[in-house]
């Protein structure tokens, strides 16, 4: 599979380039999100969220937060947001996602999209700290991510996550522990480097 089409003008840090996985994940965003509030969690330089908008997805969205804790991405994210035709609806938030609450974002979210670090801390580590932070679970694991998703989403809200197919069992197991998040769709994509799982989860809408 060749890299899908994407905006060639994204600014990225040296050695921390996004991959085809980011483009594939962006394509799983909902077509319509009228007056919606969404977040690209662990956004890096913002490619996933911006690609979703550039592919005419998330139509009608009111606010898209770009949440990142690593300031190495600051100037790159700022450039990519400024270079976007959607500038007025985009807001960067520099924070560890584990510290976020709905109040810190001005309310609950309707949708979250996320390509989190995939590799356990015990796996082989890169000598580059920023690369380790992006690829390994140094600042929270999948369980922490799902807890954050549960806290930030409104009842009935949804989230799409890119996850390695080889670790899909861990996703299913951790979802069963959250209580209010349920798997609504799971697609396996075969691409160079192994299988990619694109998982959509939905927060229990609660009693009507």
**DSSP label of 200:** E
Domain positions in the chain:
20-203
pLDDT at residue 193, as a whole number = 72
The model carries a pTM of 0.87
Q: Which fold has domain 20-203?
A: Rossmann fold (3.40.50)
Q: How far is 23 from 26, CA to CA, in rounded Å?
A: 5
Q: Give the CA distances from residue 9 to residues 6, 59, 62, 72, 205, in Å, rounded to whole numbers and listed in that order.
A: 9, 22, 24, 18, 39
DSSP structural state of residue 5: P
Torsion over CA: 66, 164, 143, 29 (sign): positive
pLDDT of residue 132: 56
Per-residue pLDDT of the chain (208 residues; tens, 9 = 90+): 334 455 557 888 877 677 788 888 999 999 999 999 999 999 988 999 999 998 888 999 999 999 998 888 899 999 999 988 888 899 999 999 999 999 999 999 999 999 987 666 565 666 665 555 556 565 678 888 999 999 999 999 999 999 888 888 888 888 888 889 999 999 998 877 778 899 999 999 877 5
Find tokens 């690593």 and name the residue.
70
């Amino acid at each position: 599979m060749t890299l899908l089409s994407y905006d060639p003008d994204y600014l990225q840090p040296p050695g921390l380039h996004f991959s085809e996985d980011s483009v594939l994940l962006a394509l799983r965003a909902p077509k319509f999100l009228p007056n919606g509030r969404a977040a690209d969690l662990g956004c890096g330089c913002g490619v996933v969220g911006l690609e979703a908008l550039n592919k005419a997805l998330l139509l009608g969205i009111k606010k898209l937060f770009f949440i990142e804790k690593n300031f190495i991405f600051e100037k790159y994210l700022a450039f990519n947001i400024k270079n976007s035709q959607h500038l007025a609806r985009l807001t960067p938030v520099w924070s560890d996602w584990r510290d976020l609450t709905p109040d810190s974002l001005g309310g609950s979210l309707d949708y979250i999209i996320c390509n989190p670090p995939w590799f356990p801390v015990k796996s082989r580590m890169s000598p580059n700290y920023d690369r380790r932070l992006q690829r390994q679970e140094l600042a929270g694991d999948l369980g922490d991510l799902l807890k954050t998703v549960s806290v930030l989403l409104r009842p009935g809200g949804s989230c799409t996550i890119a996850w390695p197919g080889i670790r899909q069992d861990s996703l299913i197991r951790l979802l069963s522990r959250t209580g209010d998040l349920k798997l609504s769709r799971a697609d396996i994509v075969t691409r160079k480097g192994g299988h990619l799982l694109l998982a959509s989860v939905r927060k229990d809408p609660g009693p009507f």
